[in-house]
């Protein structure tokens, strides 16, 4: 039953993100990102199905025409609440949204913190491999600095924390 729920979430997210691409040189399908976020959690023995489903769906409201009401009707209030906690309010300026991630992280639920940590791990690994199209080294470095500020308030899982610290150690030295 849980596997069916997870696959339903993947199918929904794949449909919603079907025309989106990552900003790497290969323009990989965007759906790789939320699936990768869930994989990071699974590899760290996170098996709460609602957290995993929310990890798959975490960018659907922020980056597609999906509404919280739609998510709630299909996936229920728990999954929707996790997604709501990790969704930026796109009506606010980017610098405000970024600062809110830093300021509010400590007050998120355990599940939302896990999703946010895994999301940052995925994005930082991507940045290690390749600077996105249109980014320069300075923007890449600033993302690492900002991500550390965000994740410093999310220390709820030793394995995820260790992965983040390794990423920061490799990429923030002498900066």
70: number of Cβ within 10 Å: 15
Residue tagged active-site, from 8, 48, 63, 70:
63
Who's near 153: CB < 8 A, 6+ residues apart?
A: 102, 105, 106
Residue tagged active-site, from 8, 48, 62, 141:
62
For this structure, is 63 an active site residue?
A: yes
Distance CA 163, CA 165 (A): 5
Distances (CA, A) of 84 to 89, 121, 140: 9, 20, 27
Distance CA 115, CA 58 (A): 8
For this structure, is 158 an active site residue?
A: no
Distance CA 11, CA 49 (A): 15
Q: List active site positions.
A: 62-63
């Amino acid at each position: 039953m849980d596997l069916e729920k997870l696959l339903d979430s993947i199918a929904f997210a794949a449909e919603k993100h079907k025309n989106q691409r990552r900003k790497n040189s290969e323009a990989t399908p965007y759906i790789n990102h939320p699936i990768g976020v869930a994989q990071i959690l699974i590899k760290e023995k996170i098996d709460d199905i609602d957290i995993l489903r929310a990890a798959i769906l975490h960018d659907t409201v922020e980056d597609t025409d999906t509404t919280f009401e739609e998510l709630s009707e299909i996936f229920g209030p728990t999954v929707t609440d996790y997604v709501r906690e990790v969704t930026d309010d796109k009506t606010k300026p980017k610098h405000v949204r970024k600062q809110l991630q830093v300021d509010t992280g400590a007050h998120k639920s355990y599940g939302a913190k896990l999703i946010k940590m895994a999301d940052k791990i995925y994005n930082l690994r991507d940045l290690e491999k390749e600077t996105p199209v249109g980014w320069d080294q300075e923007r890449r470095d600033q993302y690492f600095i900002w991500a550390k500020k965000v994740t410093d308030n999310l220390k709820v899982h030793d394995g995820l924390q260790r992965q983040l610290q390794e990423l920061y150690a490799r990429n923030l030295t002498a900066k």
